[in-house]
C-alpha cells in the first residue's frame, strides 16, 4: 500500500495525515502543493467523486485574496483555477489506489489500513 497525499507543510490537517500513515509504517508519497500543483487530471478524480465545490477551501486566505466569494464559475473553470491556484484546495487530498478522501478523514483511513 502506498498513499499519495496532496497538501502543504503548513497545513495541520496535512501533517496529521502524514503522521497517521507514518505511525502505521505505510509508505507515503507527499506532493507539496507549494512546490508542484496537482494536475487537472488528478483533480478530476476528486471532482468525479466529491464534486468541484467540495475541493474549494472557501475559508482559505488565498480564496479571500483572489476575491472569489461571489464567483459564479462553471465546474470546468473552477477546475482550471484549482490547478493554477493549489492553495485554494481543501487539504489534504489523499489517494489510496482508486480510493479518495478530502480533508481530515481518519475513519476512512483506518478502514484502508485495517488499524
* pLDDT surpassing 90 at residue 99: yes
Mean pLDDT along residues 48-74: 90
3-41 tens-digit pLDDT: 999 999 999 999 999 999 999 999 999 999 999 988 888
Mean pLDDT along residues 72-95: 92
Report the CATH number at residue 21.
3.40.30.10
Q: Which domain holds residue 85?
A: 2-113
Q: Which residue has the cell 509508505?
A: 27
Domain count, the chain: 1
- With left for phi above 0 and alpha for psi between -120 and 50, is residue 51 left, alpha or beta? left
Amino acid at each position: 500500500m502506498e498513499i499519495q497525499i496532496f497538501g502543504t507543510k503548513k497545513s495541520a490537517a496535512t501533517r496529521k495525515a502524514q503522521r497517521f500513515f507514518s505511525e502505521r509504517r505505510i509508505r507515503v508519497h507527499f506532493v507539496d502543493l507549494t512546490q508542484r500543483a496537482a494536475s487537472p487530471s488528478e483533480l478530476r478524480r476528486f471532482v468525479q467523486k466529491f464534486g468541484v465545490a467540495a475541493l474549494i477551501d472557501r475559508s482559505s486566505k488565498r480564496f479571500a485574496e483572489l476575491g472569489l466569494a461571489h464567483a459564479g464559475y462553471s465546474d470546468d473553470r473552477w477546475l482550471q483555477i484549482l490547478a493554477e491556484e493549489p492553495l485554494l484546495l481543501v487539504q489534504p487530498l489523499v489517494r489510496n489506489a482508486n480510493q479518495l478522501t478530502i480533508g481530515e478523514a481518519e475513519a476512512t483511513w483506518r478502514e484502508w489500513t485495517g488499524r
